[in-house]
Amino acid sequence: PTAGCKQSSEPTAAAKPDGAAPATTGGKKKKIAYVTNGVDPFWNTATAGVRAAEKEFGVECEVLMPPKGIVDQKRMVEGLLARGIDGVAISPIDAKNQVGLIDAIAERCPVITHDSDAPDSKRLCFIGMDNYNAGRAAGRLVKEALPKGGKVMLFVGRLEQLNAQQRRQGVIDEVLGRPVPAAGKLSYDPPGKSLSAGAYTVVDTRTDNFDYSRAKANAQDAMASIPDLDCMVGLFAYNAPQCLEAAREAGKLGRIKIVSFDEANAVLEGIRDGHVHGTISQQPYYYGYHSVRILKGLANGDKSVLPANGFQEVPTVEVRRANVDQFWTDLKKMQAAGQ
Amino acid sequence: MSPYPSSNGTASSVAPLLEVRRISKRFPGVHALKEVSLRLHAGEVLAVIGENGAGKSTLMKILAGVQEADSGEFLVEGRPERVDSVRTASRLGIALIHQELSLADNLDVGSNLFLGREPRRGVFLDRARQNREAAEALARVGLDCSPETPIALLSQGRQQLVEIARAVNSGARVIIMDEPTSSLSQGETDRLYSVVRDLKSRGVGVIYISHRLGEVTTLADRVTVLRDGQNAGELARGGINHDAMVRLMVGRDLVRHHRPARGQGEPVLDVRSLRTLAHPGREVSFSVAPGEIVGIAGLVGAGRTEVLRAVFGIDAVVGGEIRVAGTRVPTASPREAIEHGLALVPEDRKHQGVFLEMAVGANTTLASLGHRARWGFIRGNTERQRAAELIAQLDVRPPNPDQTAQFLSGGNQQKVVLAKWLALKPRVLLLDEPTRGVDVGAKQEIYRLMEELAERGVAIVFVSSELEEILRMSDRTLVMHEGRISGTLSREELSEEAVMHLATGGPATR
Amino acid sequence: MKKLLGIFGLLVAVFALTSIANPQFVSAYNLQNLIRWTSLFGIISIGAAFVIITGGIDLSIGSTIGLVGSMMAWLLTQKGWGVGPTLAAVMLCSLAIGLAHGLLITKMRLQPFVVTLCGLLLYRGIARFLTDDQSQGFGNSHDTLRQLAIGKLPISGGFALPAPLFILLGIAALAAVFLNLTVAGRHLLALGRNETAARFSGIRTDTLKIVAYVLCSGLAGVGGILFSLDLNSIQPSGLGEFYELYAIAAAVLGGCSLRGGEGTITGVIIGTAVMRVLYNAINILGIPTHLEFAIIGAVILAGVMTDEWVKRFAARRRAARERAEGATA
Amino acid sequence: MKKLLGIFGLLVAVFALTSIANPQFVSAYNLQNLIRWTSLFGIISIGAAFVIITGGIDLSIGSTIGLVGSMMAWLLTQKGWGVGPTLAAVMLCSLAIGLAHGLLITKMRLQPFVVTLCGLLLYRGIARFLTDDQSQGFGNSHDTLRQLAIGKLPISGGFALPAPLFILLGIAALAAVFLNLTVAGRHLLALGRNETAARFSGIRTDTLKIVAYVLCSGLAGVGGILFSLDLNSIQPSGLGEFYELYAIAAAVLGGCSLRGGEGTITGVIIGTAVMRVLYNAINILGIPTHLEFAIIGAVILAGVMTDEWVKRFAARRRAARERAEGATA
Ligand SMILES: Nc1ncnc2c1ncn2[C@@H]1O[C@H](COP(=O)(O)OP(=O)(O)OP(=O)(O)O)[C@@H](O)[C@H]1O
Ligand SMILES: Nc1ncnc2c1ncn2[C@@H]1O[C@H](COP(=O)(O)OP(=O)(O)OP(=O)(O)O)[C@@H](O)[C@H]1O
Ligand SMILES: [Mg+2]
Ligand SMILES: [Mg+2]
């Protein structure tokens, strides 16, 4: 965390060892960039926040969504640095190993991380939430949905991503009633073996490499192979909607509980109709909003915008049938503000 | 303008069935046809002859709409027509049997026979009728196989018969045969004669291209000669004889010299009880002495090619052994065969001989590169030099090592293949139909070459379906019938009758 | 047909083994899913087969699916078009794509691999551009339309036949008739094996090739419509990625030769079924999903190899028989 | 060489336009990145070219990269192997993959597309299995080793040459010599043209093909090592996805014919450069990323088409000239 403050003492437009562009200077609109970790509806909501903040703070922010993972992310960042940029907010795909990349940005302009943090890097601050806790929150929703216990199956795009792992672990630990581990002491249960404690069983985790039809097939096959499956948890935004479709076709709506992450329309509809028990929203809108707000400040050399100990928490929201309508109208307002 | 020689061919009064005037055609680097004119009457057999590269095939392709002329007139029954595609040509009733096989080998015989002209019910294929008619068509050319046989299983010769049947069956009024007999043996050739006569009697006009002047003499009503892409003259029925034709083609008389038989001493090639895949039940044994020229005669499908392929290691053998100068040659490896001094000029030039898209020079040196390399590196100058020599030695036309091989005429491609092997200085040279599609001039050169090599002590084995060639060249003749050697004929015993007798399965005459 | 023995054996084997290992595999519900997926992928594989038979290849199938899928949802929901116009529009679009491929390949003599590789990038890009990278969906609307993909025809014992099956069967029937019984089909096979020979025989080779590419893209379009209706949430950047490879693999497994001129519709469908059954079996047996690629790759390879062995064995048998005859003769 | 004019023109054009639109494009920093990426992709494209020249294809390049990359990181960090043994192991692994491909294709007569398609699935699966789907990385260790990928050789004016460039140049030089100056190279081209005739000429066609596939996988292995060292973060299921297509596209752009027998190393490198410059230009010009694919697809297509046009035009010109001469003669 303190990494941020340490870094902040250095001049942001540091000398460029090998002739990269100087940051465009005060006169005209600052140009900043918002780099995501992929292409996903989730990031479209975040973009809405970016756009809103753009208007509010009068900066120009470019949103970059690398379609094919780390290589594209690296390539795009290099492009940004090459043409000169006044600040970058990035969601590292592999935080642990991308420290080098983030530090490379830090050499040329202020950099902050969002959604997924890289504490060992020279990033000035992190905007987001703790995926592990989010996972535990989802776990609580599962327990709520299955007071008498039952069989749970998890679905995710790729397990390699830190955020996926942390969420998954959070859900598992919560459902199996394990204690919260000390920070950085996360355990990892490799997929493929079914874990159970008390009335609850986490049967397995299925990955689909972001192929929606695989995601749906995985849900179907789960219901087929485990006729008495009680709950499906979608760890990525698109998983739950596919579980929902599968359940609907199987005629198991309501019979099989669905817990979700993020706020895909299908999920919110599902919650309202009572087909989905609930979802954990990370409020991506604020990722975008705060990123722009803070970068704007930093670009003008104003350190005061930095949050204490470099962590700007965006609280997760647990959406249930009770609060879904409110949440949805707010969401729509935010997205409208983005247009 | 070209002086048009008058002819007294049959029915010259009515407008000719087909006539072209002052046709010209250029290809990159070549002026294939220069104002060539040609005329064909109904019920006439017009032979078109000329050396390799004279432009025969090109002219025929133009007549059949495969290629378009740069300039010139095209008249059918006196009506000017524009033939820009095969479809228009066949609508006008013109069918071409290509010099190179053109079949789809994933289909059966029947489908190939009717390719493009399938009997149909609406959009549907009428298989029953197709098979029925196919059977008849095959019978007419004397091909004894079911219309449902996959074409890939037929030997070259049989495939050629299918192509002939296709054209004959197309109901065309003009049928062009570009070297139809090049892969046929005597039996099939005779069969073809009767087919042609039959067509003739039904008023079909036939254009017949062949380098076998004997055939021309027997068949043709009229002969048109091309030389270097120009009309070189015409011969009417009466005036058709070997020497006259040769004179018009090459513009000079060819001297034929007969040489004494030779080739004694220890055999350099010794084939013992060889059993090939095509005829696993039959054993083949023979040996060849240095400087000896051994011919293998037989009907198409007799298994001659299989024998050569097996000896050269292209196909695995079922049994038997092969020795060169006493040392046993490991079978089923052309490379080993080459190492032991064997070389094979294959029967299917296009697929097995030349590299069509590669330069002539590269073609000629390909097989011998390894032997002339230094540490696996090609020596550019030596290669170029060598290529030039070979091209000169075989008189390849055009003599340009950088010309792409596919733009050479059939005969010149054959020379290129020969050159590839001569570059290796083989001890035993195997030739499968060495003069297939090669004109008299080039033929003489190839014969001369064979003799030269023999003088130098090279043992030569050649498969030929041309009796004339067998009679002319071989010191000793092996006749094959259904996969076994049905007899061996010394130079004294050698005669057309003797060969045909053995080839058709008669008992050995000894 | 002989050629299909190996692959068919593989299908049966995997099917039998899985249903023994876990009876749920043959439960009505699972079979229904299995059939639906096989149908969806079968449709695009048949398209791929046509192009492969001409000796060509189409790498843009996946992107075409993506474009058609997102475009349909976009037109219906964002642009508020009616169902009829929308379907017409997207099908036209996919057919136009095929036409473009065909023209570029036949008239401009470009290599199919290159043309369709560009297509792969281009159509994906257009899809993302049109929709502004927003993921699309039908929500609860258009349920009638969606029946095309998720509808079922109930038959005895809680078992129902998914709608796509009928679409597949219809298309397959037409395709098989076209390929085996019509003159055009025969010409297609001929040109696939030896184009010059076909041209010399006066066959309209170019037209036929173009038709093949149009069919391929058209079927990809149908696939795109069905996939998006089935998923009800379409990500322009993701929908259909890699499907061209699945389609081609299925076609080749089913006995199409990439050298052209070979292939049967039955084979293609069996090939597709094998792939889908494998995916399904892996999930049903609870094998960790990250093993799935390895297993499928290995099994397909094994399948192709045994297939080859079978063929060779048959050939050797024939040779032996002839040898025997030869000896007696 | 003529064949390369079109594509080279395209490269120059894109380069010029971009540097005018945004001078930062030619900044030392950007050029360095550009060169590094071109080198990395160039290496694998050369491998692809060898296989393409034999008339084959290798779809498993990307997965091989993924496997080698993850395996190396896994051995170094998880298994604590030394650098030497690790490099040896992963290179052996990639060469073995090539050997397997070669043997299956030549001895079992399987179609390259099928074999390598299975490879695409298989190696990806193995990578995910080995690493248990955990993304790998070197953290801050192995910085010396990483110099292979991220190292620079400073030359005048703040401009430095990236290490991979030298690796590429080395490989390219060897490859070019092999292809143009050695007997084996000539034989490779010949067999690509007409395999039967090559066999009849006593060329070891099988051996040569195997060599080509070994080279291809081997270079993919080198690529895998460099990519993972460069990224310092390897996702077993993601690293190298689609790279086979990039490699093949580059090779084809560079004048390789998928019919075999044609291709130059220079061409391949130019082809790669075009693709990388395009990606980079789009970034530099701040074009919305979701247009990227569309633009690249369109430009490549345009490039191939103009190339074709140029060829035809040249041919027509030549014909006309000859006709004129003929007239005078
Ligand atoms: N497609 C082509 N492109 C370029 N040149 C060609 C082409 N086809 C033929 N030629 C050239 O045109 C000339 C005539 O060729 P053609 O095949 O008509 O000769 P031919 O009389 O049939 O010889 P052969 O008796 O050997 O078949 C030759 O010099 C040949 O090199
Ligand atoms: N690829 C093949 N597959 C199966 N059988 C074949 C094949 N090629 C030839 N045969 C058969 O083998 C036998 C010998 O064929 P081959 O070509 O050796 O005859 P040939 O005497 O050389 O006649 P040609 O004059 O055509 O050379 C024939 O019965 C032929 O049908
Ligand atoms: Mg000719
Ligand atoms: Mg023969």
d(C-alpha A198, C-alpha D301), whole Å: 61
Residue of the CA atom closest to atom 1 of ligand 2: B153
For β-strands A111-114 and A88-90, DSSP reports them as parallel
Kindly report the nearest CA distance between residue B172 and chain C, in angstroms.
Answer: 13
Query: Domain boundaries in chain B?
Result: 105-166, 257-341+426-510, 354-425
Residues in chain C: 329
Contact of chains A and B by CB distance (3 or more pairs under 8 angstroms): no
Kindly report the nearest CA distance between residue D32 and chain B, in angstroms.
Answer: 36
Which runs of consecutive H residues, i.e. helices, occur in chain C? 5-21, 28-53, 61-73, 83-106, 112-130, 143-150, 163-181, 183-193, 195-200, 205-231, 243-253, 265-284, 292-328
Would an 8 Å CB–CB cutoff place D283 in contact with chain A? yes
* The two structure tokens encoding residue C78: 């964002």
Contact by Cβ (8 Å): C283, C289: yes
d(C-alpha A65, C-alpha A67), whole Å: 6
| Ligand 2-lining residues (CB < 6 angstroms) | B 153-157, 183, 185, 278, 298, 300-306, 347, 465
Question: What pLDDT was estimated at residue C67?
Answer: 96
B435 CB under 6 A from ligand 1?
A: no
Kindly report the nearest CA distance between residue C294 and chain A, in angstroms.
Answer: 14
pLDDT tens readout for residues B296-315: 998 767 889 999 999 999 98
Q: Among the atoms of ligand 1, which is closest to the Cα of residue B442?
A: 26
**Interface contact flag, C24 A224, Cβ < 8 Å:** yes
Question: What pLDDT was estimated at residue A27?
Answer: 56
Across B25-41, average pLDDT: 85
Nearest chain A residue (CA) to C147: A249
**Interface contact flag, C121 D294, Cβ < 8 Å:** yes
Provide DSSP, A245-277: HHHHHHT-BTTBEEEEES--HHHHHHHHHTSS-
Q: Which own/partner pairs from C23-27 qualify as long-range (CB within 8 Å, at least 24 positions apart)?
A: C24/A224, C24/A225, C24/A226, C24/A227, C24/C284, C25/A224, C25/A225, C25/C280, C25/C281, C25/C284, C27/A224, C27/A227
How far lies D293's CA from each of C73, C120, C221, D256, D284, in Å? Answer: 21, 9, 20, 23, 15
Closest alpha carbon to B115 in D109, C172, B98, D201:
B98
Residue C303 or C213, more confident: C213
d(C-alpha B485, C-alpha B137), whole Å: 32
Q: 3-state DSSP helix/strand/coil percent for chain D, to nearest 5?
A: 75, 5, 20
Closest alpha carbon to A136 in A167, A179, A182:
A167
d(C-alpha B77, C-alpha B15), whole Å: 5
Compute chain D's Rg from CA coordinates: 21
B414 CB under 6 A from ligand 1?
A: no
How far lies A315's CA from each of A43, A91, A173, in Å? Answer: 17, 17, 20
Across D121-149, average pLDDT: 86
d(C-alpha A102, C-alpha A79), whole Å: 14
d(C-alpha A121, C-alpha B126), whole Å: 76
Tell me the pLDDT band of C86, cut-offs 50, 70 and 90. Answer: very high
d(C-alpha A19, C-alpha A161), whole Å: 34
Architecture of the domain defined by B257-341+426-510: 3-Layer(aba) Sandwich (3.40)
Residue C193 or B500, more confident: C193
Residue B102 or A59, more confident: A59
pLDDT tens readout for residues C6-44: 788 889 998 999 999 999 899 988 999 999 999 999 999
Would an 8 Å CB–CB cutoff place B509 in contact with chain C? no
Closest alpha carbon to D295 in D282, D283, D304, D285:
D282
Residue D255 or D50, more confident: D50
Q: Among the atoms of ligand 2, which is closest to the Cα of residue B185?
A: 25
Question: What pLDDT was estimated at residue A6?
Answer: 35
Q: Which positions of chain A have pLDDT values less than 70?
A: 1-27, 339
User: Does D211 have pLDDT greater than 90?
Assistant: yes
Question: What pLDDT was estimated at residue D124?
Answer: 93
Provide DSSP, D58-127: -TTHHHHHHHHHHHHHIIIIIS---HHHHHHHHHHHHHHHHHHHHHHHHTS---HHHHHHHHHHHHHHHH
DSSP B108: B
Surface of D (61-120) touching B: CB under 8 A:
none
pLDDT tens readout for residues B40-90: 999 999 999 887 778 898 999 999 999 999 999 999 998 999 988 888 998
User: Does D304 have pLDDT greater than 70?
Assistant: yes
Q: Which ligand is nearest to the CA of B32?
A: 1
d(C-alpha A170, C-alpha A187), whole Å: 10
Surface of B (370-409) touching C: CB under 8 A:
none
Residue D103's φ and ψ, nearest 5 degrees, are: -65, -45
Would an 8 Å CB–CB cutoff place C22 in contact with chain A? yes
User: Does B256 have pLDDT greater than 80?
Assistant: no
Strand partners, B404: B359
Pocket probe mutation, ligand 1, options B23, B26, B30, B59, max atoms within 8 Å of Cβ: B30
Closest alpha carbon to D249 in D315, D186, D314, D293:
D293
Mutate one of C3, C201, C208 to test the B interface: name it (highest B CB count within 10 A). C201
Question: What pLDDT was estimated at residue A152?
Answer: 95
Question: What pLDDT was estimated at residue D70?
Answer: 94
Residue C106 or C285, more confident: C106
Closest alpha carbon to A130 in A301, A307, A312:
A312
d(C-alpha A327, C-alpha C211), whole Å: 52
d(C-alpha A110, C-alpha D71), whole Å: 35
B53 CB under 6 A from ligand 1?
A: yes
User: Does D326 have pLDDT greater than 80?
Assistant: no
Residue of the CA atom closest to atom 8 of ligand 2: B155
SS3 B293: strand
Tell me the pLDDT band of B31, cut-offs 50, 70 and 90. Answer: confident
* Neighbour count for residue A74 (Cβ, 10 Å): 22
Let me know if C291 is exposed, middle or buried by CB neighbors in 10 A (0-12, 13-18, 19+): middle
> Which residue type sits at B227?
R
Would an 8 Å CB–CB cutoff place B125 in contact with chain C? yes
Kindly report the nearest CA distance between residue D199 and chain C, in angstroms.
Answer: 19
Query: Domain boundaries in chain D?
Result: 43-268
> Which residue type sits at D221?
G
pLDDT tens readout for residues B130-187: 999 999 999 888 888 899 988 888 877 788 889 889 988 888 899 999 988 877 777 7
Query: What angle (nearest 5°) sits at the alpha carbon of residue C291, between those of residues C290 and C292?
Result: 90
Query: Nearest by CB to A94, which of D133, D135, D280?
Result: D135
User: Does B509 have pLDDT greater than 60?
Assistant: no
Question: What pLDDT was estimated at residue A21?
Answer: 43
Would an 8 Å CB–CB cutoff place A64 in contact with chain C? no
For β-strands A150-156 and A231-234, DSSP reports them as parallel
Contact by Cβ (8 Å): A284, A42: yes
Residue of the CA atom closest to atom 22 of ligand 2: B305
d(C-alpha C205, C-alpha C190), whole Å: 9
Residue C170 or C261, more confident: C170
